[in-house]
Structure 1
Amino acid sequence: MMNWDDLRYFLALVDCGTLTGAARRLQVEHTTVARRIDALEVVLKLRLFDRLVRGWQLTAEGQDLIEHAREVEERWFSFERKALSASKMEGVVRISAPPSLSTFLLAPRLKILCASLTGVELELQAERHQVSLGKREADIALRMARPQTAGLVIKPLASVGYGLYASKAYLKKHKEDDWEFVAYEKHSATPHHQWLEDYLAQRKVVLRSNDQMVLAQCAAANLGVTVLPHYLRQSHRHLYRIEQQACPLRRKLWLVMHDDVRRSPRVRAVADGLIDLFSGAEMTDLLL
């Protein structure tokens, strides 16, 4: 009989294109991925992938099965989500949030929520990419962009303010006309990084990074001026907010769940706890 779980390995290899990528997604060894694909091929009596020197390549037979495999996968995840909605007040609840927000806002403030949820274990996933709530990669996601995917429950959680930051030592040593900048990677679509690119004009950028926690550390280490969410000012005691050159941007932070899981007692309790956390005066002060 076919092991239905082997379809996950098949689709992960289709999506990622390499054994290593599929293994990383599934959090297993690449040899496990290869073994599960081999087993699926034996049961189906089909060759799904050609093993080439440059990598594994889908056969025509494998290509024909992708759509059907995705239908089976979606039905399985739908079954899981429905089962979760009928579950008790116990088990794991996975929260996905951006790394800096997870590190400097959530992690230091989850103690009370954890203590109030007897029988519930929180799993905080600090991730740059948007995980799939439909595939149960997380139960709750905090996102800086409003999702457009159907079937999601979306609630505005808070407003996040931004500003220009540098160290006091840097600002004491450099006049505004002589400022140099640490900026995000080029071609970023993020609003506050686009604003910084416009603000820069022809001024010098000394370093770029794809991580705003790196930018915060660079600014605190006297490397230059950067734009940061206000909550990151607590990441380093040497960061100083430049009030006279305010960044006007505010971005919405959204709490997102799949519609099928919002009735789960434990997911609902965690979501309510996060809503209460972000509605407090302390959090508002940190964000704005």
Structure 2
Amino acid sequence: MFDWNDLRHFVALADDGSLSAAARRLGVEHATVARRVAALEAAVGAKLVDRRGGRYVLTGDGESVAHYARRMEAEAFAVERVLHARQQEIAVEISVSAPPVFATLLIAPRLPLLKQSHPRLRLRLLGQNRTVSLPRREADLALRLVRPNDPSLVARKAGSVSYGLYASRAYLTARAAEDYEFIAFDESLDDVPQQTWLKTMAGSRPIVFRTNDLSIQGAAAQAHAGVAALPAFQAEALGLVRAGPNGPSFFRDVWLTYHEDLRGNAAVAAVAAFLADCVQQPAREA
């Protein structure tokens, strides 16, 4: 009989296609994933994956095993969620996934308020740009800038975040608006709404620095490298100045989401209310 943990590692490899990606998902070393998959192949007496140019491709037997393994994994996570949902006492740990800038500047500074109102609750805060799988319990709740379309998830609008064009005071003082240069996401994120808006605002003016990380954009703006499209709360924390006293604004909705099985859970409800307050607080302070 095979080990369920071996099957779990195989599913991660089957879904992600590489040892490193599967290891990141599971929070283990890539060698552990390789060892677990090899153990599963030995237990079932069949080759399940082929390595091709650094990627792992499922064999015919691997496709069959993966089909049933995913169903087993889904049921196992469903059992976990049901048991988790019945823990009405607040003495539990709730994991939250949020974009890193939101986690750092909106949520973490307000953690004492959560502890004061719910002293027995424990929060695990994950600053992540990727969209985590809530059905797989990679987190219990998530803050997202795009409304999820998975029917198994509860989604409600937590608030809106205002973006603007920001730079250092020294940068804006030293040049006229027609001479502004811009800081943007790299091409892999060209389709995100604030990037599209930035490029419209920039027009023919040049983009001189690109990065895949919003925190790096903020640091570059602080270093007088150019003008960036940043959330107002981030720009304020960095001491940046809006480009123009009545400069344009762009708004993005923030969605709070969790699995349907957790609806009505006291701990999840408490954290959800706390997260919504974190998102809305900057608007109240403005």
Tell me the TM-score normalized by structure 2.
Answer: 0.92
Q: In the alignment, which residue of structure 2 is the partner of 1:180?
A: 181
Residue 124 (structure 1) shift: 0.4
Segments of structure 2 that go 5 or more residues without pairing to the other structure are none
Which range moves more in the overlay, 260-269 or 239-248?
A: 239-248
Residue 38 (structure 1) shift: 2.0
- The question of 1:49 aligning with 2:70 is answered no
For 1:52-91, what aligned pairs fall within 5 Å after superposition?
54=54, 56-87=56-87, 88-91=89-92
Which range moves more in the overlay, 201-210 or 128-137?
A: 201-210
Give the 3-state SS of the residue equivalent to 1:110 in structure 2: helix
Give the 3-state SS of the residue equivalent to 2:261 in structure 1: coil
Residue 114 (structure 1) shift: 2.1
Give the 3-state SS of the residue equivalent to 2:84 in structure 1: helix
1:202 to 201, 204, 212: 204
1:52-93 CA-to-partner distances (Å, cap 9, x unmatched) read 675544221112222111111111111111111112322210
Residue 226 (structure 1) shift: 1.5
For 2:256 and 2:265, the matched residues in 1 are separated by 16
1:156-192 CA-to-partner distances (Å, cap 9, x unmatched) read 1111111111111111110111111112223521111
Segments of structure 1 that go 5 or more residues without pairing to the other structure are none
Letter in 1 for 2:78: S
Sequence identity (%) = 39
Compared CA separation, residues 284 and 31, structure 1 to 2 (3 A):
same
Give the 3-state SS of the residue equivalent to 2:4 in structure 1: coil
Letter in 1 for 2:25: R
Give the 3-state SS of the residue equivalent to 2:93 in structure 1: strand
For 1:204-223, what aligned pairs fall within 5 Å after superposition?
204-223=206-225
Give the 3-state SS of the residue equivalent to 2:201 in structure 1: helix
Compared CA separation, residues 56 and 250, structure 1 to 2 (3 A):
closer
Q: In the alignment, which residue of structure 1 is the partner of 2:116?
A: 115
Residue 97 (structure 1) shift: 0.4
Letter in 2 for 1:182: I
Compute the RMSD of aligned alpha carbons: 1.9
Letter in 2 for 1:106: I
Aligned residues: 284
Residue 285 (structure 1) shift: 4.2
Q: In the alignment, which residue of structure 1 is the partner of 2:167?
A: 166
Give the 3-state SS of the residue equivalent to 1:83 in structure 2: helix
For 2:264 and 2:128, the matched residues in 1 are separated by 25
- The question of 1:231 aligning with 2:233 is answered yes
For 2:165 and 2:54, the matched residues in 1 are separated by 47
